[in-house]
Amino acid sequence: MRTPLAKHVLIGRHEEIEQIDGLIRAARAGRGGALVLGGEAGIGKSTLLDRAAEAASGFRVVRASGAEFEQGMPYAALHHLCRPILEHVPDLPEHLQEALRVAFGTRPGRPDPLRIGLAALELMSAAARVRPLLCLIDDAQWLDPASSRTFVFLARRVPADPVAVLVATRSADELRELPGLTLSGLDDENARRVLAARHPFPLDERVRERLVAEAHGNPLALLELPRAGGFLLPEPASVPARVERGFRARLAELPDDARLLLTVASADPTGDPGLLWPAARLLGLDVSRATADASASGLIEVGTRIRFCHPIARSAVYRSAGAALRRAAHGALADVTDRDAAPDRRAWHRAQASPGPDDDVAAELVRSATRAEARGGVAAAAVFLERAAALSLDAPDRTERTLAAAHAHLDAGTVDRAAHLLAGLDTATLGDHHQARADLLRGRIAFTHGDGSEPIVRAARRLATLDPASARRYFLEAVEMSLVVGRARGVVDEVLAAARAAAPPADAPDLLDALIALSADGYRAARPLLREALAGPARTHQPGLASMIAVELWDLDALGAITDWLVGTGRESGSALSLQLGLGLVAADATVRGDPGRALAAVAEEEAVADAAGLPPLIYNRLHVAAARGRRAEFRALSRNAARVTNLAWMEALLHNGLADYPAALAAARAATSHHDLFLTGVALPELIEAAVRCHEPAVAADALEALSDRVSGPSGTGVAAYSRALLTDDEDDFHEAVSLLAASPLRPYRGRAHLLYGEWLRRQGRRREGITHLRTAQDLLTSSGAEAFADRAAAELRAAGEQPSRRGSPAYEKLTVQELAVARLVAAGATSNEVAVQLFISKRTVDAHLRNIFRKLDLTSRHQLKDHPLDS
């Protein structure tokens, strides 16, 4: 409760109330939803939450609130929200029960964000089956990141449940994907009405108008400015600052004991009377009198929890206290906090109470950081380690903790903070190991800005004799980063040249040795070493780099093994990044094999994983599907947000070749192969050859054919090379070889393209009947592969030969949304609704709703029929 006069602040909020009431009505009817209320402090967001709770008759209301001092505690706010409905935990599957217990700290283990979001969703769904549920989340700008991501996950998945989610925040960066409503200030007329309700006797007109002008329509300001100097000339300060001054004015009027009690309360984010009263007694306060005085000021409300009337009030109290008073408050709270039940909170209070370096407190903070990291609280670990470094007397310990804090900040995404910590290190006093670690971190920071190889190479060189294994890992990391951020400058060769000069020998040839050989001698010489490396530990130690090389060599077996490992590891460990990368490769594999339904289902699952983990979804897999299908408008829309997709130009070349726009395909293929790096060229070379031949650039095509022939082996790769060679040589034997090699290839689109090119050649040679046979085969293969643009080329060639092309209806995957397609494929494979819900991170009710839509769109009535339905045709 922010103010006893909350009802007056609702003046002028008719539209906002109607929108909130609509959300509640929809939830009552079983159509859940979410709404984010944004606006500055004091604008009335919290009051609207209170009013929503009053309006939601028949609902169960659960609340949570972000706390500035709890931002580093993972899942703290989610625990507050779920606590009233934990009696429904036994209704959940055991693995989801376990996920919540780990998240809430009642069971040891590392939280799995993917399962925690689904567990919270199922918990709310279970509670909503008893009666509708209203979730109110206040001060969301101070939510811990883990809870914030989970709340977004929940809010996007409640439409199938009678659940309404209402969030209030000052800034909505984390919540921008949700429907929002920004509260503006009241107009002057409504501001006067608020003042009239606040003051039973008429105000002097000049005073009233001055208050209206100073408040800028902020309801809290209208109530507080009289205490903040609202009767004086206005000062150049923001409305929240003026309001804070009003709270400070109230504080200044209180006795010393009441002010100290409020300082202790402001330093404790839990609002737990079981901590506040013992800490106050430890400081020698008369608790009853101090509490009575503090309550009478209206700054706090005393109940089962101690709540400030507004977050600005808490901030005003804490900042008004001097450093010594704050240290005393934190020291008392540390002394009364249970070292076993809340060791991390105790460590933090001890740290805030320390007037200077203290190795004992620093060591306790390091232990807290270890616990936080084990529970997925990387942001908390970073803060603990940074404070531990500041409190460390021993210089080596201080350096070690600073580097660890910088690493944790990088993992948490607070890159600027990591850079600041590294900038503060005295590099002249660092040993080689610490210097190398600092260089590695600088490289990773530079990577986020677009160039990170040079510091990492420097670190690898430094460790070449001290730590050979680490040095080799650093060189490989520099190669991988360079592929992503340095392609335009051809820096991969530079990194490998440095590795060739400085990398210590390995016990047995590995991926780095293969890459060094590639850089020195080319693909034809290095190909056996690369294939051997792909069959070894590189699959699991450097899966991203290994997958790029597998694609470059057209090695489908190696790529499939890497994909299976990434997906399996991601599911088992809960690693969202591994699962995203693995599913992205599943989509790529399905696309090149001509299985668009499987590709789109993988895209849907990857998006679900990204959403559950609070990560951006991959773009390249959706671009690849759009390019392979010849969807120009879709490709262009996606590519607007794909500036850093490494192989974007290759996909563009594939798209334009399918559309027979050969000049555009040539320009894109040249861009895809002109970066002078070693990788991400192989798949673009066939596109470059076809476009160059069509644009009468035989020299360009010949060079590209030589590069492609150096890379490929096996029927699929050599078959593609054969039809590419046939385009250049105009030799029918090469077309025969291509069709023969690709006959058993799993790459249906490329098999179809071989028949298309051969059919086109035969028609031009006047061998119409033979050409028609190949063109019909091409149309069938390309249509069933989802390669719509290439299929249209085959159809156009058939018409030119005087034949009517085949007509096919829309495939099943065209009738379904990508999430419906993912559900349909899983159910068709025998998965239950619960199993589908787990894999796609949606509620069982949502799965059942999707199934109803699927049955309607495909004219089916049962799961059994779905199993027999050709979803990819």
φ/ψ of residue 245, rounded to 5:
-65, -35
Top mean pLDDT of 89-103, 175-189, 836-850 is at 89-103
> CA-CA distance, 757 to 794, in Å (whole number)?
9
Residues paired with 106 in a beta bridge:
none
Give the model's pLDDT for residue 5: 36
Residues in the chain: 873
Give the other-Cβ count within 10 Å of 221's Cβ. Answer: 27
Tokens of 48: 């609207």
Tokens of 237: 């300060």
> CA-CA distance, 684 to 670, in Å (whole number)?
9
Give the model's pLDDT for residue 245: 77
> CA-CA distance, 349 to 848, in Å (whole number)?
49
Q: Tell me the domain boundaries of the chain.
A: 6-182, 188-250, 253-352, 393-541, 813-867
Residue 408, pLDDT above cutoff 50: yes
pLDDT tens string 524-540: 889 999 999 998 888 88
Residue 825, pLDDT above cutoff 60: yes
pLDDT band (50, 70, 90) for residue 795: very high
Residue 564, pLDDT above cutoff 90: yes
Residue 862, pLDDT above cutoff 90: no
For 60, the 3-state DSSP assignment is strand
Degrees, nearest 5: CA angle 38-43-44: 90
Place of tokens 């839990």: 270
Instruction: Identify the CA nearest to 628 among candidates 783, 426, 491.
Output: 783
pLDDT band (50, 70, 90) for residue 436: confident
For the domain 6-182, what is the CATH code? 3.40.50.300
Residue 154 CB contacts under 8 Å (≥ 6 apart), including other chains: 117, 120, 121, 124, 135, 163, 165
**For residue 377, which amino acid is it?**
G
Q: Among the listed ranges 222-231, 286-295, 644-653, 784-793, which one has the minimum average pLDDT value?
A: 222-231
Residue 487, pLDDT above cutoff 60: no
φ/ψ of residue 843, rounded to 5:
-75, 160
Give the other-Cβ count within 10 Å of 553's Cβ. Answer: 22
pLDDT tens string 99-113: 899 888 788 777 777
Residue 6, pLDDT above cutoff 60: no
Tokens of 724: 């590419």
Place of tokens 């260089």: 439
> CA-CA distance, 456 to 111, in Å (whole number)?
31
Mean pLDDT of 137-148: 88
What percent of the chain clears pLDDT 90, i.e. is strictly above it? 41
Q: How many helices (H) and strands (E) does the chain have?
A: 48, 7
Give the model's pLDDT for residue 3: 42
Residue 206, pLDDT above cutoff 60: yes
Instruction: Identify the CA nearest to 148 among candidates 198, 75, 243.
Output: 75
pLDDT tens string 496-526: 888 888 877 777 778 888 998 888 888 888 9
Q: For domain 813-867, say whether CATH 3.40.50.720 is its number.
A: no
State the first-to-last Cα distance of the chain, in angstroms, to the nearest integer: 58
Give the model's pLDDT for residue 670: 94
